[in-house]
C-alpha cells in the first residue's frame, strides 16, 4: 500500500486526479460511489451510482439517472446529498457532501444523452419507472436495442456541487484523515483531523 500525500494541497490534487480517472476508467474503484439522499419520511436512502463527469472549476461531479427514479424525486425535495467512495486496495475512503440538482433538459443533459451509446440509451426505454412494484421478479424485458431508441423524456443528469470532503486513509500501522471544505466565496480550506 502506497502512503498517501502528507501535504494537504498534494492531497487535494491526489483526490481530484482519482475522481477524474474514475470517470474514464470502468475498473477504477471510485467509479461507483454510494449516493445518499433523504426519503419523504426523512430516512436515509443509499444506492450505488456511476460517476460520469467531474468539473474541477465548478467543484462538481455528475451522474446519470432515470428522471422518474426515487433519487430524482428525493433530490427535488431536498438537495443535500452525500457520496461515499471506497478503494479497498489503497485503503482510501472519500465522503463528498454537497447540493444536487436534477436536470432533465438543457445543454448538458442534451449533450450527455446524445453521447450515450445504444446500450446506455436502452436503460431509459419505456415502461414503469424504477422501483415500481411487480407481482414477481421482472427482468429488463425491453424490446431489442435500437440505436436511435430510448426515451429521452425518462433521462436526466444529477450534478452535485460539493461543499466538503472527508478523506480517510486506513494504513497498516496508522490512519490519516483530512477535511476539506469550500466556502462560497473562496478557495478551499483543509485541515488534518483525528481519524
pLDDT band at 121 (very low <50, low <70, confident <90, very high): confident
CA separation for the pair 15, 109 (Å, rounded): 26
Residue 28, all three cell numbers: 477504477
What is the domain partition of the chain in residue ranges?
Answer: 8-124+150-192
Looking at residue 149, what is its pLDDT?
Answer: 60
CA separation for the pair 151, 148 (Å, rounded): 10
Half-sphere exposure of residue 182: CA atoms within 13 angstroms, side-chain side = 17
> In CATH, what number does 8-124+150-192 get?
2.30.110.10
Average pLDDT on 150-154 reads 83
CA separation for the pair 98, 165 (Å, rounded): 9
Residue 167, all three cell numbers: 478523506
pLDDT tens string 8-29? 999 999 999 999 999 999 999 9
- Asked if residues 124 and 72 have their Cβ atoms less than 8 Å apart, the reply is no
Average pLDDT on 184-195 reads 93
Average pLDDT on 41-67 reads 96
When the pLDDT of each residue in the chain is averaged and rounded to a whole number, the result is 91
- Asked if residues 147 and 118 have their Cβ atoms less than 8 Å apart, the reply is yes
pTM (two decimals): 0.91
pLDDT tens string 77-109? 999 999 999 999 999 999 999 999 999 999 999
Position 6 pLDDT exceeds 60: yes
Q: Given 3-state DSSP classes, what are the helix, strand and coil percentages for the chain, each rounded to the nearest 5?
A: 20, 35, 45
CA separation for the pair 136, 49 (Å, rounded): 25
Backbone angles phi, psi at 11, to 5 degrees: -65, -45
Position 56 pLDDT exceeds 80: yes
Rg of the Cα atoms in the chain: 18
Amino acid at each position: 500500500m502506497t502512503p498517501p500525500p502528507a501535504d494537504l494541497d498534494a492531497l487535494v490534487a491526489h483526490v481530484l486526479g482519482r475522481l477524474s480517472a474514475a470517470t474514464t476508467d470502468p475498473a477504477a474503484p471510485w467509479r461507483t460511489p454510494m449516493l445518499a439522499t433523504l426519503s419523504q419520511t426523512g430516512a436515509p436512502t443509499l444506492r450505488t451510482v456511476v460517476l460520469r463527469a467531474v468539473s474541477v472549476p465548478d467543484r462538481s461531479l455528475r451522474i446519470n439517472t432515470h428522471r422518474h427514479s426515487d433519487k430524482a424525486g428525493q433530490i427535488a425535495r431536498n438537495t443535500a446529498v452525500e457520496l461515499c467512495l471506497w478503494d479497498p486496495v489503497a485503503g482510501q475512503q472519500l465522503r463528498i457532501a454537497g447540493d444536487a440538482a436534477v436536470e432533465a433538459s438543457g445543454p448538458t443533459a442534451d449533450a450527455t444523452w446524445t453521447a450515450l451509446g445504444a446500450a446506455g440509451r436502452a436503460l431509459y426505454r419505456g415502461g414503469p419507472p424504477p422501483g415500481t412494484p411487480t407481482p414477481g421478479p421482472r427482468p429488463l424485458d425491453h424490446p431489442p436495442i435500437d440505436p436511435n431508441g430510448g426515451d429521452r423524456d425518462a433521462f436526466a443528469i444529477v450534478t452535485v456541487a460539493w461543499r466538503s470532503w472527508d478523506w480517510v486513509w486506513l494504513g497498516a500501522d496508522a490512519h490519516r484523515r483530512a477535511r476539506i471544505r469550500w466556502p462560497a466565496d473562496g478557495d478551499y480550506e483543509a485541515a488534518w483531523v483525528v481519524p
